Every structure is written in C-alpha cells, then in structure tokens.
C-alpha cells in the first residue's frame, strides 16, 4: 500500500473508532432507560423487553439495505445514513414519551437499533482499510471502541434525565437527548472523514436483484466465506440464547438484581474488552484457529454450568467465557469474510453476513425461553453445543485460513 494511501486509511480507521465511541454512547443511553420507558408508556411489565427486542430487530432489518447503500454510494454515506436514522429514533422516543404512544416508541426502538447495524458495518470498513497483516487487529479495535460508549452511555442516564426535566421533557426521555446528539456527531464524522478503501469503489449502477445474485454467486465460489458466516451466525445464536436466559436462572437460585447486573456487565466486557487480543491472534495464528478457540470457549461454558449449576461464581465465569467466545469467533469470522470475497462484491456479502448474524440472534432469543422451561438451564447449554459442533466440523474439514503476521 502506498504511503499516502496508508495515511488515508489510518485517518479513516481513527474516524471509525471515534464514531463508534459516539454510537455506543447513543445506544447505551437509550437502552439504559428504554425498558423503563416502555413499561411506563404501555402500563405493563410485559413490554419492558421491547427496547432490546426491537433494537435487535431494527439492526437485522437494516443490515442489507445499508450494505446496498454502501455498494451504491460508498461506506461513508451508508454509515452516515444509518447514524441519521438512529438519531431520528432517539428524537421519536422523546415524542413517544410525551404522547404516551407505544407504537411510536416501538418504531423509535427499531430506528435506534440501526446503530448496531452501523457498528457491524463499521468493523468491515476498518478491515478493508487495514493492511493485510493487521486486518484482524484493526477490525477488532473498531469493535472495542463500541465498548467505551456502551459503558459510558448508561452512566449518562442521571445527567440526561436532569437535563430533560430542565428542558421540560417527560420523565425518562432526557437520556435520549444524548442519543440524538451522539448520533448527529457520528454522522458528521462518517460523512466528512470516511473514505473508500484503496481499490474499492461504489457501484451506483448495480440494482438490488442483480446484487442478490452476485452475493449468491460470490458465496458459491467461496467456501471459506460460507464457513465463516456460519461460524458468526452460530456464535450469535449461542451467545444471545444463553445470555438472555442466565438472569432467569440466577434469580431462580436466589440471586439479587445486583448480582444479575454484575453478571451481564462482565459478560458484555468479555464480548468487547478483549477484542484487540483476538484480532491480533487472528492475524498471527490464522482465522480458523481463533474461530475454533471461540467454539472451545462455548464448550467450557457448558462444562462450568453442568459442573456447578447453582454456583454464582461459576455462572459469572461462564458468562465471561461466553462473551470471549463470541468475540473470538465474530472477529476472526469477519476478517475471513472480508479476505475471501472480491472487493466488488464485498460490501453486499458483508451485509448478508450481518443479516444472518442478527437473524440467528433473534432465533436464539426466541427459542431460549421455551427450551429453558422445558429442559432447564444446564441442559440448555448442551443444546447450544449442537450447532457449535457443526461449526467445529466444518472448520476442520475446510482448508485453514492463513495467518497474516
């Protein structure tokens, strides 16, 4: 890569890191009070999970449209458009709170969830700008940046509520002001500083149907990409299913809400805090090795739960491992997808990968409850290992993805 292109790519990756920090703040601010606002607007505890459910659905619905926009107009435009939608969701949440409108609030959560789709696409943008020997590290650094905002965002709930009340906004809507402001700032960064990767260009003449055909053709030609997308989808399925059911299992064994909160916080830290380490490992030892390491961590989760199903320390350790396994597989799988697909088809295939990822997460969350009621939590971890075994077999049967360092 020429020196000028290298400097430009570094500036773009720095911009992506900054924007992801802002996006995390916006999402964290929204989700920290989203469940409470949904309960207040609806008047029922049954809707308290609407924030997490519909933000996840919003990310799934917009993954492919954002990828198509990236193909047609470039990454900066696509990421900026997604941030605009997420900011609009924050503004709509304030209006929904003022009008006590549950449909408007659900739409707001859908739009705010676009921020997650933007974050997923941003990691691929970083991978495209990185030198091959550092692709995994750069991709994981952008993922790690989301952690900063995700940790800071919930801590802004109090100041946001105070600001909202000072401005005359309804109860619990003030934190969404930070969502609007953070996404607006991220939009400016995406539009002003994110440039096309060297060798990449938008393709405004590619219609949607032809793009879908090219995605299918590209995946048929690349078994490495197919296996990587499968690993990403399975890892999301396992992570969401077990993470969502852990609080119910903990409370059933007498844990307090503080213990539940600590467990989930440490799980989220496991998902993102070690991202650069897994990115470095994927560059150093190869993508397949790190994907398999992630699946091994999922097996360790099941072993811990089966050995001590009521022990809180063991369950906390299991949730941390769950987050680490997810991080390893998603980072290495994303790097493998990026390398296995030609530049012309890369953005569209990456969008399909994100769609698969979010859809698998939604399935995991949907079936986790019935399976927990039918089997209990320890057997549920064994069920999760069934698709994990499929990933292990497919990775071992396929050719190794080489190390890049």
For residue 73, what are its two tokens? 């107009």
Q: Average pLDDT of the chain?
A: 84
Residue 405's pLDDT is 42
Where b means 16+ CB within 10 Å and e means fewer, 197-210 reads beebebbeebeeee
Distances (CA, A) of 115 to 110, 150, 394: 10, 12, 32
CB 153 within 8 A of CB 24: yes
Domains of the chain (ranges; CATH) run 1-196 (1.20.1250.20), 214-398 (1.20.1250.20)
Distances (CA, A) of 163 to 168, 186, 389: 9, 21, 50
CB 242 within 8 A of CB 379: no
Residue 31's pLDDT is 67
Residue 372's pLDDT is 87
Residue 231's pLDDT is 96
Mean pLDDT per segment of 10 residues, for the chain of length 405 residues? 69 90 79 78 74 76 81 87 95 94 93 87 81 82 78 74 90 90 94 75 53 81 93 93 82 75 75 88 94 97 93 91 95 91 82 83 82 91 96 84 49
Interval 266-293: pLDDT, tens: 887 788 888 899 999 999 999 999 999 9
Residue 64's pLDDT is 76
For residue 110, what are its two tokens? 């859908």
Query: What CA–CA distance (Å, rounded) separates 57 from 385?
Result: 25
The owner of tokens 């590209």 is: 218
Burial class (CB in 10 A: 0-12, 13-18, 19+), 192: exposed
Residue 199's pLDDT is 56
CB 126 within 8 A of CB 139: yes
Burial class (CB in 10 A: 0-12, 13-18, 19+), 256: exposed
Q: How many CA atoms lie within 13 A of 270 on its CB side?
A: 24
165-168, long-range: CB < 8 A, 24+ apart = none
Alpha helices in 194-286 (DSSP H): 208-221, 223-252, 257-272, 275-285
Interval 354-375: pLDDT, tens: 788 878 887 887 788 888 889 9
| Sequence-ordered list of residues with C-beta below 8 angstroms from that of 264, at least 6 positions apart, any chain | 243, 246, 247, 319
Alpha helices in 43-113 (DSSP H): 50-73, 75-99, 102-112
Residue 97's pLDDT is 92
């Amino acid at each position: 890569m020429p020196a000028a292109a290298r400097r430009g790519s570094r500036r773009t990756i720095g911009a992506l890191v900054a924007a992801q920090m802002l996006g995390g703040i916006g999402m964290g601010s929204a989700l920290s009070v989203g469940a409470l606002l949904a309960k207040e607007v609806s008047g029922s505890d049954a809707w308290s999970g609407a924030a997490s459910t519909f933000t996840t659905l919003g990310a799934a619905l917009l993954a492919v449209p954002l990828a198509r926009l990236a193909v047609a107009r470039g990454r900066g435009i696509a990421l900026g458009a997604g941030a605009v939608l997420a900011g609009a969701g924050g503004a709509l949440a304030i209006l929904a709170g003022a009008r006590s409108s549950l449909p408007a609030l659900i739409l707001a959560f859908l739009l705010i969830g676009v921020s997650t789709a933007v974050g997923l696409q941003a990691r691929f943008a970083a991978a495209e700008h990185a030198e091959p020997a550092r692709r995994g590290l750069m991709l994981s650094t952008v993922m790690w940046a989301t952690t900063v905002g995700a940790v800071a965002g919930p801590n802004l709930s109090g100041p946001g509520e105070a600001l909202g009340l000072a401005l005359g906004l309804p109860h619990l809507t003030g934190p969404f002001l930070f969502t609007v402001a953070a996404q607006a700032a991220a939009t400016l960064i995406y539009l002003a500083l994110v440039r096309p990767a060297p060798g990449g260009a938008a393709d405004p003449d590619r219609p949607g149907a032809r793009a879908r055909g090219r995605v299918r053709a590209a995946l048929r030609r690349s078994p490495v990409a197919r296996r990587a997308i499968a690993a990403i989808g399975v890892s999301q399925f396992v992570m969401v299913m077990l993470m969502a059911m852990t609080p119910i299992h903990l409370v059933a064994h007498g844990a307090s809400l503080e213990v539940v909160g600590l467990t989930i916080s440490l799980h989220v830290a496991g998902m993102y805090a070690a991202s650069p380490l897994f990115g470095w490992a994927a560059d150093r030892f190869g993508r397949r090795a790190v994907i398999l390491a992630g699946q091994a961590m999922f097996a360790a989760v099941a072993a811990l739960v089966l050995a001590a199903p009521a022990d809180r320390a063991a369950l906390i350790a299991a949730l941390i491992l769950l987050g680490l396994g997810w991080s390893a597989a998603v980072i290495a799988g994303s790097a493998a997808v990026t390398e296995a697909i030609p530049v012309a088809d890369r953005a569209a295939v990456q969008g399909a990968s994100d769609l698969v990822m979010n859809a698998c997460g939604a399935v995991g969350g949907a079936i986790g409850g019935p399976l927990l009621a039918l089997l209990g939590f320890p057997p549920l971890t064994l069920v999760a290992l069934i698709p994990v075994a499929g990933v292990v077999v497919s990775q071992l049967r396929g050719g190794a993805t080489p190390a890049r360092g």
